Amino acid sequence: MFRKIIILIFAILSVNCFAQNSNKEDSVTIKKLYNTSLLNGKSYAWLDYLSNQIGGRLSGSLNAQKAVEWGEKELKELGIDKVWLQPVMVPKWTRGVTEYAYIETEPGVTTNVSVCALGGSVPTAIGGIKAEVIEVKGLEELKKIGADQIKGKIVFYNRPMQADLIQTFMAYGGCVDQRYSGAAEAAKYGAIGVIVRSMNLRLDDYPHTGAMSYGELKDAEKIPAAAISTKGADLLSSMLKLDSNVKFHINMNCRTWKDVQSYNVIGEITGSEFPKEYMVVGGHLDSWDLGDGSHDDGAGIVQSMEVLRLFKEIGYKPKRSVRVVLFMNEENGLRGGKKYAEVAKEKGENHVFALESDAGGFTPRGFSLDCNIDNFKQVQSWKPLFEPYLIHSFTKGGSGADIGPLKKEGMVLAGLRPDSQRYFDYHHAKNDTFDAVNKRELELGAATMASFMYLFDKYGVK
C-alpha cells in the first residue's frame, strides 16, 4: 500500500512538473510572438499599402483584382511552402455617380442630407424620385401600418442601434434586419423607395452602406434603397414630427452586372507532423467602396498574413498545416467562404481549426468560440498565458462569416474579439480609412492571433 502511494505521488509530481515546463515553454514562445509583432511587425506596412495604394475593394472591381495580385505577391515573398489562387465567381455591383438627396418642407425649400445606396440596390428613375415619407421603427411596425398608408411613399426605417448594450455587435444585430430586408418588405405594401438609418452608434454625417436583399421579388417590383446618416435621420424625424407632409428626394445611379471571376488567395506552411490536418486563419479581402476598408477588413487580412510571417520569423515549425486564406466577397455574397469550404469537402481535407479576424483593428480583448465543451475548457486553461497581454475574454458564441461554412463536428471555429466600442463609427462608411487604425493595436491583434494558433497547433483539438 505504501509503495502504491509513493508511485501515485511521484506520478502527480511528474505531471505537475511537465505542466509547469510546458507553461514556461509556451510563455516564452508567446512572448517571442508579441515582441516580434510589436518590434518588427509588418502588418501596419501591409495595411498602409492595401488601403492607400489600392483602396476600396468591392467584389468584382478592378481594385479587388489588384488586391488579389498584391496578396499573392506578398505571400510568395514570405517564402512559405505553397501559395495559390482559388477561382470563385462573385457578384459585381457599382455605385455610379455619387448619390444626392434632400428634404423638402415646401416647394423650393430644401435641406440636403447625406445618403448612400445600399449594396445591391436598384437605381432610382433618371432624375431621382420624390415622395412623402412614412417613418417606422422596424419591420413589425411596417406590417401594422399596412398598404393604405404606405403605397406611393418612401419608407423611412429609423430604429437606432441600442446604445445601452455593451456588446455593440448585439446592438448591430438588433437593427440590421431593416437594412437587409427593409426594401423587400416595403415593396410589398406599395412603397416606391426606402431610406434606412445608418448602423452607427454616434451622430455624424457619414451614411453607412451594407448588403441588402430583395428576397423573391421580381425585377419590376424592386425599389431603391439607401442609408441616411444618423444626423440626417434625426433631422428628418424631427421635421416629420412638425409636418408629416414633408417630401424626400433621392437620386441614385447604381447598377448590378453579371457575375465575374475573382479569387481567394491562399498560402500554406505544411505541417511537420500532421500535414493532413489543416488550420485556417483569415479575413476578407473585399470591402465596401466608400472608404478604403482598413478596419473592415484590411486589418483582418494583414493580421492573418502576419500570423504565418511571425511563425517564420521566430523559427516555429507548426505540427499541422497552417493556411492563411484571404477570402473574396464576404460583404455582398460570401462566395469566397462558401467556395473554400466546397473545395475542401471535395478534396476530403480535414480542417480541425479556423480563426477569423473581421471585427476591426482595435485592441484585442479575446476570442469567441464555436466548439464543444472540452475544447472550450482547454482554451480557458490557457488564460494565464494571455493575461500578461490583457487578453481576458474567452466566450462561447459565433466565430466568423467566412469560416462558418467549414463547420463540422469536433472542429473549433474562433473569432478574434477586439474592443468594439468604436467599430461601428467606421463600419461600411467613408471614414473607414487607414488613419483610423492604430499601429500598436493592430500589431497586438496579430500577435494574439498567432499565439492562439500556436497553442491549438501544439495541443490540438479535443
Label residue 401 exposed, middle or buried (CB < 10 Å: 0-12, 13-18, 19+): middle
- Contacts of residue 275, defined as CB under 8 A and 6 or more positions apart, other chains included, come to 320, 321
Give CA–CA dist 12/108, Å, rounded.
85
Tell me how far apart the alpha carbons of residues 69 and 76 are, in angstroms, rounded to a whole number: 11
**Integer CA distances (angstroms), 251 to 93, 115, 342, 417, in order:** 17, 10, 40, 38
C-alpha cell at 72: 499573392
- Tell me the CA distances in angstroms from 210 to 158, 197, 267, 420, one per residue in order: 16, 12, 29, 18
Cβ partners under 8 Å of residue 269, min gap 6: 80, 81, 308, 311, 312, 317, 318, 321, 322
Residue with cell 426606402: 194
For 122, what's the count of Cα atoms within 13 Å in the CB-facing half-sphere? 19
Q: Which residues of 165-183 are buried (b: 16+ CB within 10 A; e: fewer)?
A: eeebbebbeebbebbbebb
- Torsion angles phi and psi, residue 207, rounded to 5: -75, 145
The pair phi, psi for residue 115, each rounded to 5°, is -135, 165
Q: Given the residues 268, 313, 330, 331, select the one marked as catalytic.
A: 330
Q: Which residue has the cell 506578398?
A: 74
Pairing outcome for strands 393-396 and 129-136: unpaired
User: How far apart, in whole angstroms, are the C-alpha atoms of residue 170 and residue 183?
Assistant: 22
User: How far is Cα 399 from Cα 371, in angstroms, rounded to an integer?
Assistant: 10
330 assigned to active site: yes
Residues paired with residue 135 on neighbouring β-strands, in sequence order:
156
E-only strand ranges, 170-295:
193-197, 225-228, 247-251, 255-269, 274-284
Name the residues annotated as catalytic: 330
